[in-house]
Amino acid sequence: MSAHKFGPVFDEHIKVAGETARLLETPFEALADACAASVRGGGKLMFFGNGGSAADSQHIATELSVRFVNDRKPIAALALTTDTSVLTAAANDMGYEQVFARQVEALGREGDVAIGFSTSGKSRNVVLALEAARRMGIVTVAFTGADGALLTPLADHLLNVPSKVTARIQEMHITLGHLLCGALEERLGLC
Angstrom distance (rounded) from CA 163 to CA 15: 10
Average pLDDT over residues 50-56: 97
Q: Assign 4 a pLDDT band (cuts: 50, 70, 90).
A: low
What is the pTM (predicted TM-score) of this model? 0.95
Bridge partners for 116 per DSSP: 48, 142
Angstrom distance (rounded) from CA 92 to CA 86: 10
Model pLDDT, residue 1: 44
Angstrom distance (rounded) from CA 66 to CA 84: 21
Average pLDDT over residues 111-126: 97
Instruction: Kindly give, in sequence order, each residue whose CB lies less than 8 Å from that of residue 89, ignoring residues fewer than 6 positions away.
Output: none
Of 2.60.40.10, 3.40.50.10490, 3.40.50.150, 3.30.70.141, the CATH number of 6-187 is 3.40.50.10490
Taking Cα atoms as reference points, which of 83, 26, 103, 87 lies closest to residue 115? 103
Bridge partners for 167 per DSSP: none
Angstrom distance (rounded) from CA 49 to CA 129: 10
